[in-house]
Structure 1
């Protein structure tokens, strides 16, 4: 059985970007994570120890977002996906989306988003 745990719009202030100014001033980044796993036993027993604790997932993502300055949100999304797959072997598949607002593109845009989808072991 496959179930999904979703974290939506997790917000972080960090210092990523291709321009030096972005890395110095920083900005708001948002992340969505879809964790495909089997939590049927945890649900049946109402036991947090038998599932993936989303509070711990948020804290782990926060630590990854602040590890070092990156140029690309594509890299950040990949680091988050790879890190969660390694930390939680019970994840069957993961989708990570990272959004960045106020992007210097020379025009009006709401945000830019990069998405990574991976399966455990791949």
Structure 2
């Protein structure tokens, strides 16, 4: 399967369960794999035969910087649904990370990863 890949797309958000997260905010990182047939663009060298990774990133950032929620799971779902709404892709894998997470433990990142597919017009 062909994929468009976006790695380490960073933005700032006030997502979180704790009051501190909601007031101070934190850096989030998105990694994406967008399933799409890249053969036509590979033969034509035409942007119209592929998906613009810039437009995909802008769509994801619009959700990430405006959505008010507590859980990464909610934000990840909304990002994926926005991609399906604006682009004719059949599959999206999205990883959303708090980097670093607000914890006393030492770790680089913590987050969620979801995989959704469009089948018969429905997103699953």
TM-score norm. by structure 2 comes to 0.90
**Gap runs ≥5 in structure 1:** none
Structure 2: give runs of 5+ residues left out of the alignment. none
Superposition map of 1:38-57 within 5 A: 38-57=37-56
Report the Cα offset of residue 95 of structure 1: 0.2
Matching residue of 1:93: 91
- Is contact 2:95–2:112 with CA below 8 Å preserved after alignment? yes
Match of 2:10 in 1: 11
Instruction: State the number of aligned residues.
Output: 120
2:32 alignment counterpart: 33
Measured on the aligned residues, the alpha-carbon RMSD in Å equals 1.2
Ranges of 4+ aligned residues in structure 1 off by more than 3 Å: none
